[in-house]
Amino acid sequence: MVRSSIVTLYITSQSFPYTHSHYQLLSITIIPTKMSSEASTITSEPPTTAVVSIGSLSTNDTELTLGLPGGNSRKSGAKRTFSVTTDLKLGGTDRSSLECSVVRRSPSSKEQVVGWPPVRSYRKNMAKSGCKYVKVAVDGAPYLRKVDLELYSGYQQLLSSFEDMFSCFAINNVMEEMKLMDPVNGTEYVPTYEDKDGDLMLVGDVPWKMFVESCKRIRLMKNSEAGSSGMYKSQLT
Amino acid sequence: MDPAATGVTVAGTGADPAKTTMFPEEFLKRTFSLINSDKDRNSVSLVCKDWYNVERMSRRHVSIRNCYSVSPEIVTARFPAIRSVTLKGKPRFSDFNLVPDDWGADVQPWLNVFATAYPFLEELRLKRMAVSDESLEFLALNFDDFKALSMLSCEGFSTLGLEAIATHCKNLTELDIQENGIDDLGGDWLSYFPENLTSLEVLNFSTLTSEVSFDALESLVSRCKSLRVLKVNRKINLEQLGKLLVLAPQLIELGTGTFLEELVSGSVNGLENAFSKCGNLVTLSSFWDATLLHLPVVYPVCGNLTFLNLSYANIGPDELEQILSRSKRLVRLWVVDTVGDKGLEAVGSHCPLLEELRVFPVDPFDQQLGVTDSGLVAVSKGCPKLHYILYFCQRMTNAAVITVAQNCPNFTHFRLCIMNPSEPDYLTNEPMDEAFGAIVKTCTKLQRLSVSGLLTDLAFEYIGRYAKNLETLSVAFAGDSDLGMEYVMRGCPKLKRVEIRDCPFGDSALLSGLTQYESMRSLWMSDCNVTMDGCKKLAEEMSWLNVEVIKDEGGDDRLANKVYVYRTVAGPRKDAPPFVVTL
């Protein structure tokens, strides 16, 4: 089934540092954006983002040009950001990034200059969110793992990492419930977590960001136990 | 009796009036012991040999601002009685990843010499040094009187090193770990402080990322009655902070933990109460994740604050307004550009005593607007005492900076970072020459200047002509030709530290500073047009300079991509890694 995804096209310009000439970098990258917070979209294709980077637009130039810069006597261009939303029909799990024609003039141009702006690493790292490590326990496994929830943008990614970590698992998305299955013996595991209040919750109920904030530890619970603990009863009500 | 031995010549006994009156050594000693400023002591030591000797024997603190300018042996030979050392290592641009790993500035060789020469060493303050866990352990084990350790922007150690310090330093009064490249292995280093350690006065672990044992922290705070500075990390929540405040109402400086969790209403009152009992608090910092929900707990102390560091808190203009309207005595303020121009207007309205403002970018690579020229102008209007500014922005105008210079003629530190390299005045599209021209013309006391934006040689002509008190200059992506740098090197007599990157300055510019380098601490030039030949020439002319080239992988062998020039009495480095070539 071909799903159409909303694609947001960000067009940014970036000027380059070398004062003797200026460069144009053109690339179109299609990358997955963050998952929407609605639980119901977990099983749908993630929306993707196309990023188009063009260098050295002059302040008066509102048109996109694919050609090399010309007639611009200033040493480097000003920044300009545009944002255009279009519908792209992308089939399948199109999470790969596509890069189209890259036009570069400088032998050593960089998209982001090393060490600029002059901000210490500690501050730069704070711009990315702090890490949120939580323990992951699997019923029956002798030792626990730890994951940094900040590294993931959504539930699907988190489950994939479980797949990788506990290589016996395969994600089994049935009826919008997330489960992991051990194909060897068919045991199903339900991802649960303990939240700030100490309650046992089902992974996937709340928006991803809220989950990241409130999750204290994760437990992959054997389905049999999940059933008896009444987890699914609450689902039916 | 030989007058020189006693150091006394009695004047008025018919002795030759042309003879200098000498003071008794004891008198000199006592007088000099009251002189604490390094600058003054340096001056004193130049008067005459006797004064030099008395001064050096009585000096207790030495500041080595470039660890390669002198060797530990020379330092210990001259100053035998040192108790406190400040040691700075790597060039400042190493903070921004321009200096390769393993460049040097290892503290261990210093510790080795100090262990014999200064067994009574009490304080060590390190900045941009390479510090290993072994070094920290060595420090902890070899200096019985050791009291104060402060590390800023150092790297190479982990929390294991902190464990060693906590375990062995029985008289520790200060542990200040800030913005270091530390390997945070967790492991509860705080619990290693022995139960009988009660001497701690300063504890700052705000930039460590892992959890510490709260029980250990609580116990430590409770038994260290002289604690005056406490800065916890992000893992400590508000409720825990409250408990700590109750135990330490005598605090003068506090760094909070996170404001993230929701508090029960009873807790909020308790926390406000705890803050209100802290009558001595003048500095507040950290404020991670702060929102208007719980910011009010600090309101009771705002009226006394002189330094407010909100640079880890991504708050908006409304939150800032709320705090500032209650903090009329602020002298220093650090914020993030999420406060926007509106927030800076609040600064202008509420902080008439403000002398220092730093505005950091929330996300250096984000294109969002942050603060602009109008915010800067608003602050300058309302804060005439402003003399230190660090300002990261996306865009600026000449007119705005000219206005700022007129409003605040007392700038000593003007550091403007327009984040897009070579960005012109966004209204007129002209270079930013006039902006910095106005600053150097009007602010005659200017000591430190960081320039940015599109700049021609004219800007540097202005600097060379007017910035006669300039000591530190940082330049990036600016200038047209060698002339630019030449103007500065020839025109600014008091230069101490010059750092330049990505500018079209070449050998001629490098060599124009010949007369200056002797009195300068250091020069850094990277990604300019300097060649190996130029560097060799400089090295030949000046034998007491170390002219070091950091070789890049690949690249043209004739170019000197990264050059670090500094005066030294220690000769060429003996510990230089293979990629550092001394010419």
pLDDT value for B112: 98
Rounded CA gap, B583 and B581, in Å?
A: 6
Rounded CA gap, A12 and B365, in Å?
A: 12
pLDDT value for A159: 85
- In B, minimum Cα distance to A116 occurs at B96
CB-defined contacts A:B, below 8 A: 92
Confidence check: pLDDT of A88 > 50: no
Rounded CA gap, B492 and A169, in Å?
A: 69
CA distance A188 to chain B (A): 34
Query: Cβ contact (<8 Å) for A121 and B361?
Result: no
Tens of each residue's pLDDT in chain B, 583 residues: 444 444 444 444 444 544 555 678 888 888 888 888 888 888 888 889 888 888 898 899 999 999 999 999 999 999 999 999 999 999 999 999 999 989 999 999 999 999 999 999 999 999 999 999 999 999 999 999 999 999 999 999 999 999 999 999 999 999 999 888 887 777 789 999 999 999 999 999 998 888 899 999 999 999 999 999 999 999 899 999 999 999 999 999 999 999 987 777 778 888 999 999 999 999 999 999 898 888 999 999 999 999 999 999 989 999 999 999 999 999 999 999 999 999 999 999 999 999 999 999 987 766 677 999 999 999 999 999 999 999 999 999 999 999 999 999 999 999 999 999 999 999 999 999 999 999 999 999 999 999 999 999 999 999 999 999 999 999 999 999 999 999 999 999 999 999 999 999 999 999 999 989 989 999 999 999 999 999 999 999 988 899 999 988 777 888 999 999 999 999 999 999 999 999 8
pLDDT value for B485: 97
> Which residues of chain B have a Cβ shorter than 8 Å from any chain A Cβ?
93, 95-98, 153, 179, 181, 207, 209, 234, 260-261, 311-312, 360-367, 392, 394, 417, 419-424, 426, 429, 454, 474, 476-477, 480, 501-502, 504
Task: Give tens-digit pLDDT for B446-470.
Answer: 999 999 999 999 999 999 999 999 9
Range of weakest confidence among A131-145, A155-169, B180-194: A155-169
pLDDT value for B569: 94
pLDDT value for B186: 74
Residues from chain B that touch A124, judged by Cβ atoms under 8 A, are 364
CA distance A144 to chain B (A): 18
User: Closest to B417 (Cβ–Cβ): which among A78, A118, A124?
Assistant: A118
B543-546: long-range contacts at Cβ-Cβ below 8 A with a sequence spacing of 24 or more?
B544/B518, B544/B568, B544/B569, B545/B517, B545/B518, B546/B68, B546/B571, B546/B572, B546/B573, B546/B582
Task: Give tens-digit pLDDT for A111-123.
Answer: 468 889 999 888 8
Kindly state whether A85 is in contact with chain B, defined as any CB-CB distance less than 8 angstroms: no
Q: β-pairing, A4-14 with A48-55?
A: parallel
Q: Mean pLDDT in chain A?
A: 59
CA distance B362 to chain A (A): 6
Taking only Cα atoms into account, the Rg of chain B, rounded to an integer number of angstroms, comes to 26
Task: Give tens-digit pLDDT for B520-575.
Answer: 999 999 999 999 999 999 999 988 899 999 988 777 888 999 999 999 999 999 99
Rounded CA gap, B105 and A66, in Å?
A: 48
Residues from chain B that touch A131, judged by Cβ atoms under 8 A, are 209
Of the candidates B63, B69, B21, the one whose C-alpha atom is nearest the C-alpha of residue B40 is B63
Residues from chain A that touch B501, judged by Cβ atoms under 8 A, are 115
Rounded CA gap, B459 and B567, in Å?
A: 27
In this predicted model, which residue has the larger pLDDT, B194 or A67?
B194
Query: Cβ contact (<8 Å) for B96 and A59?
Result: no
Q: DSSP labels for B21-52?
A: P---HHHHHHHHHT---HHHHHHHHTS-HHHH
CA distance B173 to chain A (A): 26
Of the candidates B480, B477, B493, B532, the one whose C-alpha atom is nearest the C-alpha of residue B510 is B532
Q: DSSP labels for B335-379?
A: EEGGGHHHHHHHHHHH-TT--EEEEE-SSTT-------HHHHHHH
pLDDT value for A39: 37
Residues from chain A that touch B96, judged by Cβ atoms under 8 A, are 114-116, 118-120
Of the candidates B142, A184, B299, A162, the one whose C-alpha atom is nearest the C-alpha of residue A173 is A162
Tracing tokens 């893992």 back to the chain, one arrives at B235
Provide the H-helix boundaries in B169-315: 214-223, 238-247, 265-276, 299-302
Do the Cβ atoms of A95 and A114 come closer than 8 Å?
Answer: no
∠ Cα B110 B115 B118 (to 5°):
95
How much is the pTM? 0.74
